[in-house]
Chain A
Amino acid sequence: SAVISQKPSRDICQRGTSLTIQCQVDSQVTMMFWYRQQPGQSLTLIATANQGSEATYESGFVIDKFPISRPNLTFSTLTVSNMSPEDSSIYLCSGSPSGGSYNEQFFGPGTRLTVL
């Protein structure tokens, strides 16, 4: 199974600023995903990070707020832009080694973001 690391593990930010979260996988994965987990809630998919093309966003999430990069098959970044306290969440990235399949995903440890 793939091992996924994220940086930073946690951060406290001021409203109006932006934070970029990095996700590194120790092997090539076809699909990478970004999720948000608000306090006490389940995971909500933000977007699918596509290598070599724009990310595919879920309903309620837009590129201007959550720009994503995927420069290669082992790395992706998520930026949370113009932050407000409502953005305080855990952000998780995941990877799926199976081409075109969502059947199994391996998750990073998450980035715990607090916006003041």
Chain B
Amino acid sequence: GDSVTQMEGPVTLSEEAFLTINCTYTATGYPSLFWYVQYPGEGLQLLLKATKADDKGSNKGFEATYRKETTSFHLEKGSVQVSDSAVYFCALAGTALIFGKGTTLSVSS
């Protein structure tokens, strides 16, 4: 069945460091892919999405490219801020939304 695998955290970075959170998927066909973010004490917010191969989703300085060759959708940001500290979930749209286990990011000043 469809599944999503995320790199395990926690990820701890200093402010202005480069961020990569790996996400790979297994699915039939080419489902839409998403990154959701959950800030402390809050619900999930859609961060970015890509609906077809080679699409790049971007928002708030974060980017992810839909790579069908490697079945990946890695999240990147060139310079993280303390306010980016949150849990990040990769997800794919199969018969339902399927989430990865989440990666906790902590950014210190």
Which chain A residues have a beta carbon within 8 Å of chain B's beta carbons? 1, 4, 6, 33, 41-43, 45, 48, 58, 92, 94, 101-110
Q: Which residues of A contact B44 (CB under 8 A)?
A: 43, 92, 94, 107
Of all chain B residues, the one with the shortest Cβ separation from A40 is B102
Known: A42-B89, A42-B102, A43-B89. A107 touches B45 (CB 8 A): yes
Chain A residues touching B, majority SS: loop
Count of A-B contacts judged by CB separation below 8 Å = 49
Do B51 and A43 have beta carbons less than 8 Å apart? no
A40: shortest Cβ distance to chain B, in Å? 8
Most buried by A among B44, B46, B99: B44
Interface residues of B, count at CB 8 A = 20
**B28 close to A (CB within 8 Å):** no
Chain A residues, CB < 8 A from B51: 103
Which residues from chain B contact A108 at a C-beta distance below 8 Å?
Answer: 43
- Determine if B17 is an interface residue (Cβ-Cβ < 8 Å): no
A102 CA to B99 CA in the complex, in Å? 13
